[in-house]
Structure 1
Amino acid sequence: MINWKMKTRGQRPIGLDIGHNSIKMIQLAINGGRISVIAADKARIEPRINGDMEERRSFIVAKIRQMLAEGSFRGKKVISALPNDRLKITSLRLAEAKSDKIGQALRKEAAQRFGLDPDRDAINYVLVGDVRQGDEVKSELILFAADNDSVKSHIELLEEAGLRPVGIDTVPCALFRSFERSLQRQEDRERTAVFIDVGSRFTTVVFGRGREISFVKQVSIGGESFDKEIAAKLGVSIDEAEMLRGKLRMERTANAERGLWGSGQTSTGQEGLADQKDDKADLETLDASTRQVMVDAISAVAEQLAREVSLCFRYYTVAFRGKRVERAVFSGGQAYEKILLNVLKRQLAVEIEVAQPLRGFDMMNLNFGNDKRGLLCEWAVAVGLGLKGWNGDAEQPEEPLAAPAAGRQADSYERN
């Protein structure tokens, strides 16, 4: 994406993840390889305002300003990601990987597939490597593109909120970056892992081998899909379905915790839940018939998502022969959905784990509010944004996108 001047040591720019139903801001500091969290905050975007783009924009601007005023964030520099629905992604293969040939192919693909103007809109790529297609060996690339108006609108929103953009990224690259730092061992660099972020409206799938991105896919299935299915089956509103799904999740968590309390244990990543034992015991439980309808509805959508992810696995294993996926790491707000994880574990037949993007970070004196779940897997994209520009111990993969119009604004940002 757009990458302007920034310091690579000490205090980092704010990482800002603006999703469909939440805003997450985090700021990191890096000294001698040690990563500390300076500040973090998040806010919910009410579903009722998502249908009115002006009201949604005003809410986001006001909430960011509030988080900056009330939080411990330092400075106004920010790195943010374009919304998933504004980003175009596809894979393509070329007989030659010469720079002039790549440029021509990208311009043609962006115009024909996405209807973009190569002279005006943002287009870039990641060169993945060689793949065999029949008897030929071709170079595979991942194309990232976005229309210039979307990039400009996003930058203007950040500036209106009082921030100073120093980088615009993509969700897939930020997601991979949040886990890339953990792939230090030689054995990790030789293994293929898939990172899957299940959000409210989209699921982002990123395959990585070592410290390089190999394949990216966005699937238009997310938490809203579960709520819509539940709403249709129960004859309730989407908001009611979301509330009921939250109640089901809390009920299952409470039941699991009660089983562990009897043996004097608490589950990994669930610190603090024991303190809420009495509160959860008093929750109004779902009736058996409602619970079963919900489980069936969630399972049906989970099966759809599992099929889409399975197709990604199939493409990867065919395109990159001999490179088998060994584990799948799940992040995003929907990664806490146990029914989904169980379906995916059964369908994908690989090791499944829920991400801990803040594991190993110094979070002393940091308060994540009412979030007691410990894993904090929904912070993966924000963490990846906060790490943009830090190379760690090795070179980063090329990060897309350079928008011509937005790039012209970079000079003013660099001088300030």
Structure 2
Amino acid sequence: MRLWKQGHGPIGVDLDSPSIKLVQLSADGTTLVEAVRWDRSEPTAAAADDESVKETAAALRQAMSKGRFRGRKAVFCVPAADLMTQNVRVADGERESLAAWVADECAGRSGFSPETAEIRYLDVGPVRQGESVRREVIVLATPRNVTERLLRVADAVGLDLCGIDAEPLALLRCRLRRFRREEDRHEPKMFVNLGYRLTQIMIVRDHRPAFLKSVPVAGKELDAAVCRNLQLRPEVGHGLRRNYGDRRASRRDPEVMRSVQQAIRPLLERLAGEIAMAVRYFSVTFRGEPPATVILGGSEADDLARDFLQQQLHAAVELSDPLRAFEVRCRISRPLQWETAIGLALLGCNEKARYHERASASAKPESVQA
């Protein structure tokens, strides 16, 4: 009971398929006090908007009933699959003009405008392009109906929504908790998040994103490849890949292991190629040393994916450890699946660590207004 007297932060709510993850931290962001995962069926693309909101709200209510959450404040996120993310270059000028240039670039590349979409950008900084200097920015945009749907879900469940974050920024906030020393700030880092619907590749310098890209190679495609290769039902293929990816080598059946590896190899080779291209882009654009280590996380990351990527990239690849920076007061399994929810829960915490507060503020996106 003493812990709750210290206060609590908002509930971090990760609604991305195929499961809901909820996390609540202590008010100072140092202790993980509750975590609940609730599996649900993936919403069909043909589902009407009202039906989708109703199904999501019902699943969220069930998830919340399984945990001892305090208060009604919550932070949601726009999943990477609903985000347009892109590095673009605009004229290097006054900050007041930057938002207008970003809006023009976004409209030209994606058709999004401030009237129909929520558009944010991260100012990466000046870069040389030939003989001129341009400004590199990372654009994040999503249709307004996506954020409106989240507001309706929160209202239906009776939650006080105190923030909607972008999934890549929630992941960054969680992972930066590992790197709190001053010397960590100056080393570029590559974060790869192998999710269910998308994989996100992010390169960070000075605790700010310098490169961000979403790649359609993720758990859903890996499961489908295993099912095709072994002629399995979807739920069986998912369980087989996950169990063999986490299982120690001594407990793996060699023949089954070879079949799983053969099935997913082309997809992981493609992902390794995307990672290598991201490193080249970073090195050429910012003319600095590339990241020495790839930190792999996400709900679909495992030893099998790590070992394969390490072999393909000829670089160190390590699995993320999102619980390392927290005192954990609840039962929690498969830590890699909780990174987004932890990052969301951190957004509303009154953290004591000044260094982390500075790092979080440095990655706050600017808004493009209509």
The alignment's TM-score, normalised by the length of structure 1, stands at 0.79
Among the aligned pairs, what percent are the same residue?
A: 28
Match of 1:334 in 2: 300
Offset of residue 389 of structure 1 = 4.5
Out of 26, 33, 40, which is 2:35 matched to? 40
Write the distance in 1 (CA, Å) between the matches of 2:320 and 2:248. Answer: 18
SS in 2 for 1:181: helix
Match of 2:47 in 1: 53
1:17 corresponds to which residue? 14
The answer on whether the counterparts of 1:198 and 1:331 sit within 8 Å (CA) in structure 2 is yes
Change (3 A) 1:109 1:10: farther
Aligned to 1:400: 365
More displaced 10-residue stretch of structure 1: 230-239 or 216-225: 230-239
Q: 1:62 aligns with which of 53, 58, 63?
A: 58
Q: CA deviation at 1:404?
A: 6.7
Give CA deviations for 1:93-122 in whole Å, capped at 9, x if unaligned: 123141232122111122121212323421
Q: Distance in 1 between matches of 2:340 and 2:63?
A: 18
Partner SS for 1:205: strand
Q: For residues 403 and 12 of structure 1, what CA distance do their matches in structure 2 show?
A: 29
Q: Which residue of structure 1 aligns with residue 134 of structure 2?
A: 138
How far is the alpha carbon of 1:56 from its aligned partner?
Answer: 5.4
How many equivalent pairs are there? 357
CA apart distance, 1:131? 1.6
Q: CA RMSD in A?
A: 2.4
The match for 2:239 among 243, 252, 275 is: 243
Separation in structure 1 between the aligned mates of residue 182 and residue 39 of structure 2, nearest angstrom: 40
2:356 equivalent to 1:359:
no
How is 1:15-164 mapped onto 2 (pairs within 5 angstroms)?
A: 15-31=12-28, 35-47=30-42, 49-51=43-45, 53=47, 57-164=53-160
Q: CA offsets, 1:32-55, max 9 Å, x none? A: xx61122110111235x5455356
Is the 1:228–1:238 contact (alpha carbons within 8 Å) kept by the matching residues of 2? yes
Contact 1:26 1:37 in 2 (8 A): yes
Q: Residue 14 of structure 1 aligns to a residue in which SS?
A: strand
Structure 1 position 189, deviation (Å): 1.1
Structure 2 distance, partners of 1:60, 1:404, is 29
Q: What are structure 1's unaligned runs of at least 5 residues?
A: 1-8, 257-284, 406-416
Q: Answer yes or no: is 1:217 the counterpart of 2:213.
A: yes
Deviation at 1:71, TM superposition (A): 1.4
- Following superposition, the deviation at residue 24 of structure 1 comes to 0.5
The answer to whether the 8 Å contact 2:81/2:197 transfers is: no
Q: State the TM-score, normalized to the length of structure 2.
A: 0.88
Structure 1 Cα separation of the partners of residues 309 and 254 of structure 2: 27
Find the structure with the greater CA-based Rg: 1
Partner residue, 2:3: none
1:223-234 alignment, distance < 5 Å: 223-234=219-230
Q: Is the 8 A contact 1:128 1:213 kept in 2?
A: yes
Kept after mapping to 2: 8 A contact 1:122/1:401: no
Whole-angstrom CA distance in 1 between matches of 2:310 and 2:52: 36
Matched residues in 1 for 2:55 and 2:116: separation? 30
- In the alignment, residue 53 of structure 1 is paired with which amino acid? A
Is contact 2:84–2:141 with CA below 8 Å preserved after alignment?
Answer: yes
Shift in Å, 1:181: 2.7
* Residues 356 and 398 of structure 1: CA distance in aligned 2, closer, same or farther (over 3 Å): closer
